Chains A and B, each alone.
Chain A
Amino acid sequence: MTIEELNENQSAELERRKTIENRISCCTAAGCISCGAERVKKSIADHIKSSGLQGKVEVSGTGCMGLCSRGPLVYSERDDVMYGEVEPEDAPALISAEPEAKQQLELKRVDLNAPFFARQRRIVLANSGRIDPESLTDYIAVGGYKALAYALTEMSPTDVIEEIKKSGLRGRGGAGYPTGLKWELVAREPSVVKYVICNADEGDPGAFMDRSLLEGDPHRVLEGMALAAYATGAQHGYVYVRGEYGLAIQRLQTAIKQAERERILGSRIFETGFQFRVDLRIGAGAFVCGEETALIASVEGKRGQPRQRPPYPPASGLWGKPTLLNNVETFANVPPIIEQGGDWFAGIGTERSKGTKVFALAGRIQNTGLIEVEMGAPLREIIFDIGGGIPDGRKFKAVQTGGPSGGCIPEELLDTPVDYESLAKIGSMMGSGGMIVMDDSSDMVDVARFFMEFCMDESCGKCIPCRAGTVQMHDILARLVKGEAKAADVELLERLCTLLRETSLCGLGQSAPNPVLTTLRYFRHEYESKIAAQEGRP
């Protein structure tokens, strides 16, 4: 495809859409599919056919619309209305233009002006829920691949890196390493062979941002990867996806095939000398593979065990070659930055954390779902305004961010802004973006035990502090929960926390104590009451 053809395709599709009266989108992300979205979509398609509305009304599947708790979701473009808990029987009313029909659906209407939607700022998720992830035309219609075409013809690789540096984008996998700097490190390596890897091994329990992104807008991630490859001089890329994410894998495969057919991936992309091929690697269920050196080992077909760093992957990664490794969300941020400029992006967010962040809201919260907010938004706003607070009249107790490497944040710290530094300061971390809300029915010691059990199971066994330490810590926590622990055990627990943090080989072991440390820091009384009960004190 040439740039002219790209533009022509876009305007042709936009022209075609003007002739259509209504376009109905059904959310067909994994959450809605599990509540029957495919049946709803089929029913709408059948009714369009039987009422002879083909060519006037269209139905398509889209990625995640966000409000997973009310799925299956359906959006009607003509009226700009979203409906929740839609059933196949609602199809006639949905495709009808009659006001009476709409009246019928009034109860299922989702208020798009509610804080859940109004307080969000969607950059990464701009297309998710708006376009059909299995259609390249849909992606091109919203301006997709324009950033890549522009960069390939108008910008040098150094310009691309400069733009990313200017934007202040930081890694969205959790650690927050400046993306532009990482790209520069890879670009500087003299090697002819280099690799770009997209880390889609989203292992944190309670996190589903990367999955939703891949299910909702796979081309965006591929475009980001291609831009990264151009900037760093790589010709080959891998997407490492969790084996559990069947739908995301399938949609990525479709997207790669479509892009290759149109010569947006492969050789001579946009009629330039740039070539880039993308392959998929399917994970096989190992949390530690989210760590970069373990992930690289897994791509090489080995056991996913981390190795000593340095050398870091930008110097020596996949098969010993310079390798750029970024998270799904990081890559998805790249096309808009190239399109609208680094300065635009740098104007969003806080001083040190730029742009937006996608979060997966889950647990004891009214509006479970996928949200995107500007960096620096206070936790309280996310949980109570966007999330709608705690259901069943219960009381908020803690919010857990960052998965098993993060911490539990209590009510008094809810005004903390969400950015890399602030979260680290209170003992948690940004992590990949899972946010689990807990109410007063949760036992915080048991929560700490739960995460420690996770780390114990997922420890790869290579280094002793993590392999043996997590078992010891889990043992103490389990005894605490059962009320069989003594005060000395808590002291030992604290010592083990320090030991693991300082001596483990990789991030898994180093951050495994975080849930224990934060619950000890903010909910110490719960630990103490368990010991008191055991010792017979009041």
Chain B
Amino acid sequence: METLAKAEAAPGAAKSNREKMLERAMSRHHYSGDALIEVLHTAQELYGFLTMDLLKTIAWKLKLPPSRVLGVATFYHFFSLEPKGEHSYVVCLGTACYVKGALGLLEVLECRCAKSGSTSPDGKVSVGSARCIGTCGLAPAVIHNGDILGRLTPEQLHAELDRIGVA
């Protein structure tokens, strides 16, 4: 609750840009609790991931119990409560990708970088998986920082990891 008190106590203090933008997103939705998911989307876009302090601030502003905000943030796969690596690789595990060997790609990433759902110790690469990104024509697909790498073979993925300098 300390953070909440601070956030409230210093309205006049210089706020960072990100804070202002989050504030604007909340005011656009009239600080309504119904807009929680939209606000969390914006917060994650601005900060990269959701810290406990951030969640508490949002709960305070939207007049929601912190338990509900944490509940929503952990319920949906999209929200991350941990920082992401410099590079993010998300392997699509949709049926089409699965049939075409996506598990082999995930294995490469898990062997060389980190377990699915985590970040390598040096903070370089985050590995994740998605439930179908809907580009089944390009199966198997991996998303690298938002760009889709389609029809990928394990060899190509090794080359890609060499390129960004993974040991």
Q: Identify the A interface with B (CB < 8 A).
A: 30-31, 34-35, 68-69, 71, 202-208, 211, 243-246, 281-287, 298-304, 360, 362-364, 368-369, 400, 403, 434, 436-438, 442, 450-451, 454, 457-458, 460
Beyond A35-B150, A302-B72, whether A362 also contacts B38 by CB under 8 A is no
**Complex CA distance for A77 and B32, rounded to whole angstroms:** 49
B157 at the interface (CB under 8 A from A): no
User: How close is A437's CB to chain B, nearest CB, in angstroms?
Assistant: 8
B40 at the interface (CB under 8 A from A): yes
Q: Which residues of A contact B137 (CB under 8 A)?
A: 31, 68-69, 71, 362, 368-369
1/0 contact string of B76-100 vs chain A (CB within 8 Å): 1111000000000000011110111
- 11 A-B pairs within 8 Å (CB atoms) are namely A31-B138, A202-B134, A203-B132, A211-B134, A243-B41, A284-B76, A284-B78, A302-B72, A363-B99, A364-B100, A436-B95
- B39: nearest chain-A partner, CB-CB: A301
1/0 contact string of B98-110 vs chain A (CB within 8 Å): 1110000000000
Q: Are B96 and A205 in contact (CB under 8 A)?
A: yes
**Complex CA distance for A303 and B40, rounded to whole angstroms:** 13
Q: Identify the B interface with A (CB < 8 A).
A: 32-38, 40-41, 68, 71-72, 75-79, 93-96, 98-100, 130-139, 141, 146-148, 150
Q: Which residues of B contact A300 (CB under 8 A)?
A: 34
- A438: nearest chain-B partner, CB-CB: B99
Contact of A205 among B38, B71, B95, B100 (CB under 8 A): B95
Q: 9 tightest CB-CB pairs across the interface, nearest first? A: A68-B137, A284-B76, A362-B136, A205-B94, A285-B77, A362-B96, A205-B132, A206-B95, A301-B36
**Complex CA distance for A207 and B96, rounded to whole angstroms:** 9
Beyond A31-B138, A364-B99, whether A206 also contacts B38 by CB under 8 A is no
Q: Which residues of A contact B131 (CB under 8 A)?
A: 203, 205, 285, 287, 454, 457-458
**Complex CA distance for A73 and B109, rounded to whole angstroms:** 32
Q: Are A363 and B33 in contact (CB under 8 A)?
A: no
Q: Which residues of A contact B146 (CB under 8 A)?
A: 246
- B136: nearest chain-A partner, CB-CB: A362
Q: Are B134 and A303 in contact (CB under 8 A)?
A: no
**Complex CA distance for A202 and B68, rounded to whole angstroms:** 25
Contact of B96 among A436, A451, A454 (CB under 8 A): A436
Q: Which residues of B contact A362 (CB under 8 A)?
A: 95-96, 136-137, 139
- B133: nearest chain-A partner, CB-CB: A244
Q: Which residues of B contact A31 (CB under 8 A)?
A: 135, 137-138
Q: Are B99 and A436 in contact (CB under 8 A)?
A: yes
Q: Are A30 and B134 in contact (CB under 8 A)?
A: yes
Q: Which residues of A contact B98 (CB under 8 A)?
A: 205, 450
**Complex CA distance for A364 and B35, rounded to whole angstroms:** 42
- B103: nearest chain-A partner, CB-CB: A450
Beyond A286-B76, A362-B95, A436-B96, whether A281 also contacts B38 by CB under 8 A is yes
Q: Which residues of A contact B136 (CB under 8 A)?
A: 68, 206, 208, 360, 362-363, 368
Q: Which residues of B contact A203 (CB under 8 A)?
A: 131-132
**Complex CA distance for A30 and B133, rounded to whole angstroms:** 10
Beyond A35-B150, A301-B37, A362-B95, whether A207 also contacts B138 by CB under 8 A is no
- B131: nearest chain-A partner, CB-CB: A205
Q: Which residues of A contact B36 (CB under 8 A)?
A: 301-302
Contact of B33 among A282, A301, A303 (CB under 8 A): A301
- B93: nearest chain-A partner, CB-CB: A205
**Complex CA distance for A206 and B35, rounded to whole angstroms:** 30
User: How close is B100's CB to chain A, nearest CB, in angstroms?
Assistant: 7
Q: Are A363 and B96 in contact (CB under 8 A)?
A: yes
**Complex CA distance for A243 and B134, rounded to whole angstroms:** 12
Q: Are B33 and A206 in contact (CB under 8 A)?
A: no
- A209: nearest chain-B partner, CB-CB: B134
User: How close is B6's CB to chain A, nearest CB, in angstroms?
Assistant: 26
Q: Which residues of A contact B68 (CB under 8 A)?
A: 302
Candidate in B72, B79, B95, B131 with the most chain A CB atoms within 10 angstroms: B95
- A404: nearest chain-B partner, CB-CB: B95
New A-B pairs, 7, CB < 8 Å, besides A205-B132, A208-B132, A368-B137: A246-B146, A285-B76, A287-B131, A298-B37, A300-B34, A450-B95, A454-B131
Q: Which residues of B contact A360 (CB under 8 A)?
A: 136
User: How close is A459's CB to chain B, nearest CB, in angstroms?
Assistant: 12
